[in-house]
Amino acid sequence: MGTTHLRLDKFISNATDFSRSQVKLLVRSGRVKVEGTTAHDPGLTIGDNAVVSVDEHPVGRPMARYFMLHKPAGVVSATRDSKHPTALDLLDEPRPDQLQIAGRLDIDTTGLLLITDDGQWNHRVTSPRSQCLKTYRVVVAEPLDSGIIGKFAHGLWLAGEKRRCLPATLELIDNTEALLTIGEGKYHQVKRMFASLGNNVIGLHRLRIGGIALDADLDPGEYRALTKAEIASVNALD
Ligand code: URA
């Protein structure tokens, strides 16, 4: 993993309760050291492993944060939106500007949404290379025929795509409801998969991403921090 570089004032404000403008004052008053030497420029570029202290107290690197949210319908998977509430509006956390969504859901889709400020982890969740499996409960408008299970397993061809989808697993629950597990996350993928078979998705709920299942104790709109095991369940890319 390479070193990320950032400004000294950003490094300190990320890791402490000091605002960027307070940090600038601290630096200018000679209270900040980088690698043991007093720093004078708040805009100094440093690596994220740099040893930084304020008044001789070491400033730790901020702990990365990982959350699962039970996304309700009507909320957008975006950090900002002028018309609708966003997933981040549902979190009561400091430094919300640093949080990112790992795998978006449509506004009408409910269920498991992962949110983090660890960009590398986000990449591992969402990269098609990692084939992190996502399971959805799908409700469709027209009756399902067991013959389509093989079509999903073979790999469906979606309109406008150059390649087939990766093989997917469909388990029928009843004649209009199924569990679908896919290893990639193309735009509106599940809706387009059923549309390619002439059916319409009328309800979509994400239950699982890799080893992380939506916590049944979370009501729509509630969230919690991920456990260490859940965070570690997302494998490194080769
Ligand atoms: N596929 C979709 O079509 N929509 C979602 O929200 C997620 C997967």
* Residue 112: half-sphere exposure toward Cβ, Cα within 13 Å: 21
My answer on whether 140 and 169 are in the same domain is yes
My answer on whether 86 and 14 are in the same domain is no
Among protein residues, the one with the nearest Cα to ligand 1's atom 2 is 188
My answer on whether 209 and 172 are in the same domain is yes
pLDDT value for 12: 92
Q: What CATH number should be reported for the domain holding residue 33?
A: 3.10.290.10
My answer on whether 47 and 91 are in the same domain is no
* pTM of the predicted protein model: 0.80
Query: Domain end: 40, 59, 78, which one?
Result: 59
Give the pLDDT band of residue 3 (cuts 50, 70, 90): low
Q: What CATH number should be reported for the domain holding residue 209?
A: 3.30.2350.10
My answer on whether 35 and 106 are in the same domain is no
The number of folded domains in the chain is 2
Residue 69 Ramachandran class (φ > 0 left, ψ -120 to 50 alpha, else beta): beta
CA 186 to centroid of ligand 1, rounded, Å? 8
**Torsion 20-21-25-26 (CA) sign:** negative
Give the pLDDT band of residue 2 (cuts 50, 70, 90): very low
Among protein residues, the one with the nearest Cα to ligand 1's atom 7 is 105
My answer on whether 53 and 118 are in the same domain is no
Count other C-beta atoms under 10 Å from residue 238's C-beta.
Answer: 5
My answer on whether 93 and 201 are in the same domain is yes
My answer on whether 50 and 21 are in the same domain is yes
My answer on whether 29 and 145 are in the same domain is no
Can you tell me which atom of ligand 1 is nearest the CA of 105?
Answer: 6
My answer on whether 106 and 205 are in the same domain is yes
193 Cβ below 6 A of ligand 1: no
Both structure tokens of 150: 């093989």
pLDDT digit string (tens) for 53-93?
999 988 876 678 999 999 999 999 988 899 999 999 999 99
- Domain of 13 in residue numbering reads as 5-59
My answer on whether 176 and 128 are in the same domain is yes
CA 99 to centroid of ligand 1, rounded, Å? 21
pLDDT digit string (tens) for 175-222?
999 999 999 989 999 999 999 999 999 999 999 999 999 999 999 999
Q: Is 217 annotated in the active site?
A: no
Query: Domain end: 34, 59, 84, which one?
Result: 59
Mean pLDDT calculated for residue range 149-162? 95
pLDDT digit string (tens) for 17-28?
899 999 999 999
Helices and strands, counts by H and E, the chain? 6, 15
Give the pLDDT band of residue 236 (cuts 50, 70, 90): low
Identified catalytic residue from 48, 81, 89, 106: 106
pLDDT digit string (tens) for 24-47?
999 999 999 999 999 999 999 998
My answer on whether 47 and 82 are in the same domain is no
Torsion of CA 157, 160, 162, 167, to 10 degrees: -30
Given a cut of 80, whether residue 121 has pLDDT beyond it is: yes
Taking the C-alpha atoms of residue 236 and residue 123, their distance in angstroms, rounded to an integer, is 10
